[in-house]
Amino acid sequence: MLRYLTSGESHGKALVAIVEGFPAGFEISEEYINKQLKKRQGGHGRGGRMAIETDKVQIIAGVRDGKSMGSPITLMIENKDWENWQNIMQAAKGAHIEERKVTKPRPGHADLTGTIKYNHKDVRNVLERASARETAIRVAVGALAECILQHFEIDVFGHVVKIATVDAKVNYENLNEELYNTPLYCTDEVATGEMIKIIDEAKNNGDSLGGIVEVVAKNVPKGLGSYVHWDRKLDARLAYAVMSIQAIKAVELGAGFNSANLSGSELHDEIYFSGEKGFYHETNNSGGIEGGMSNGEPIILRAAMKPIPTLYKPLKSVDYFTKEQYEASVERSDSCAVSAAAIVAQSVVSLEIANSFLEKFAGDNLQEIEGNYENYVNYLAEINEVSR
């Protein structure tokens, strides 16, 4: 079972994660982790901060000679912006914290309730940790999990299917690495043009936009997760993980919310059998999960991201200390980060799938896990034999 903790503030020295339970013997590609980090920084609509950062992972512990050792893996990403914030962010008493003290909470962010809850005297103490800067280290952790999945030929792709009211026609043929050279990680070129236009319009109006991301996991073996207990259900774990991403407001699997509009005969995926594929479905309204278990079809998850809360266009708020009503305005923010969210969603989905995979094929090292996996593949071949 993979467990991880993250630590780090948005303008602090660095972001750190410790990943426990990672089996020994897997090749860990620093290059792959950095590729994922670069993707998360991309996408049309990001703000000035992304021009400052060039996220690179440092593997501090748990990997030797390019392979996992079975010991906890520690990852770190430095914040280049720290240079500009040292005086304000340093931990020692006497830091110049008054300089950039924040007293005006932003609607839609963690600012107001976080300040009340922790009895802070500076809203900055909340926004530093609530910030989606933290998603950088989660992508690094997700990329580690992908090192396990890729060994077993499981591919997970995150992409953009909607920005505000513009829907993309999804072309599953184009869900590959090439997609990440496009400006919005969207498989529909025509919709991408429209999306860029409305993002620019929103930005010029001091506004922001949200959208919908989709994650597709291919070649996931049947039977990951379980129906026997609520916290072992793969769909529940995926929803929890994706909902924990900053600004995500809804998660659905397969037909999702539209399931409620369809009759049983329209919705349920009928079961077929062929010698080549074994048991399979010709439709995938379930999104690859039935009874909390992967059913062998691609896992398809969608998540809705709300528009970014920090706006150049003033929104009404109240100063935390003086209680004066004011109109908030800001120096710097993303206007749309849906492409980045697609990569973050891919990462947390990968981590949950890897976790369920390791539960099913448990082992302390690669060879042991491979053996358990092969055993299961042989078992599946056996049950595919016709018996009467």
Ligand X SMILES: C=C(O[C@@H]1CC(C(=O)O)=C[C@@H](OP(=O)(O)O)[C@H]1O)C(=O)O
Query: Which residues define the annotated binding site for NADP(+)?
Result: 40, 46
Q: Is 347 in the site for ligand X (CB under 6 A)?
A: no
**Shortest Cβ 55–ligand FMN spacing (Å):** 12
Q: Is 128 in the site for ligand X (CB under 6 A)?
A: no
- φ, ψ for residue 41 (rounded to 5)? -80, -10
CA dist., res. 164 & res. 151, Å (int): 37
**Shortest Cβ 11–ligand X spacing (Å):** 6
CA 52 to each of CA 41, 227, 255, 367, 382: distance values in angstroms, whole numbers, following the listed order: 11, 46, 40, 42, 56
Give the x-and-dash track for 305-324 against ligand FMN (CB under 6 A).
-x-xxx--------------
Span from 177-185, 218-226, 254-262, 304-312 in contact with ligand FMN (CB under 6 A) = 304-312
Nearer to ligand FMN, 8 or 296 (CB): 8
Chain-centroid distance of CA 324 in Å reads: 38
**Shortest Cβ 10–ligand X spacing (Å):** 5
Interface pick for ligand X out of 4, 9, 10, 73 (rule CB under 6 A): 10
If one counts every other C-beta atom within 10 angstroms of the C-beta of residue 191, the result is 20
Interface pick for ligand X out of 334, 345, 358, 369 (rule CB under 6 A): 334
Give the x-and-dash track for 181-200 against ligand FMN (CB under 6 A).
--------------------
In a 13 Å sphere around the CA of 302, the CA atoms on its Cβ side amount to 17
Cβ atoms 349, 244 nearer than 8 A: no
- Binding-site size, ligand FMN (CB under 6 A): 20
Interface pick for ligand FMN out of 132, 156, 168, 241 (rule CB under 6 A): 132
- Binding-site size, ligand X (CB under 6 A): 12
- Name residues contacting ligand X, limited to 39-78 (CB under 6 A): 47, 49, 53
Interface pick for ligand FMN out of 6, 10, 36, 246 (rule CB under 6 A): 246
CA dist., res. 309 & res. 349, Å (int): 25
Where are the strands (E) in 41-113, listed by range? 57-61, 63-64, 67-68, 73-78
CA dist., res. 105 & res. 164, Å (int): 25
- Name residues contacting ligand FMN, limited to 94-123 (CB under 6 A): 109-110
What is the DSSP track for 4-51?
EEEE--TTSSEEEEEEE-PPBT-B--HHHHHHHHHHHH-STT--THHH
Query: Residue 68 touches which of ligand X, ligand FMN, none (CB < 5 to 8 A by kind)?
Result: none
CA dist., res. 318 & res. 182, Å (int): 41
Chain-centroid distance of CA 335 in Å reads: 19
- Give the binding site for ligand FMN (CB under 6 A): 47, 109-110, 130-132, 135, 245-247, 306, 308-310, 333-334, 337, 340-341, 344
